[in-house]
């Protein structure tokens, strides 16, 4: 456990993964909206769902 913030290094990794998934969701969704591509919008939506559900599933 780190003394600076009281969290395990794994917690920071999960947080980083969640932020990366959310950033990818925004990027893919924006590209899908600009390109009028439903599959890209769907992929962006699933990335956002994964980003939101990662933290509660990891820490029940």
Express each pLDDT in 31-41 by its tens digit.
Answer: 999 999 999 99
Residue 2: DSSP 8-state: -
Answer for the pair 40, 31: CB distance below 8 angstroms, yes or no: yes
Residues belonging to the chain: 60
Overall pTM surpassing 0.85 (yes/no): no
Which pLDDT score is estimated for 60?
58
Express each pLDDT in 12-60 by its tens digit.
Answer: 888 899 999 999 999 999 999 999 999 999 999 999 999 999 888 877 5
Q: Is the pLDDT of residue 4 over 70?
A: no
């Amino acid at each position: 456990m780190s003394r600076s913030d009281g969290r395990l290094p794994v917690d920071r990794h999960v947080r980083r993964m969640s932020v990366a998934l959310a950033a990818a969701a925004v990027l893919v969704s924006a590209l899908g909206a600009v390109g009028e591509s439903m599959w890209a919008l769907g992929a962006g939506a699933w990335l956002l769902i994964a980003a939101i559900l990662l933290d509660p599933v990891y820490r029940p």
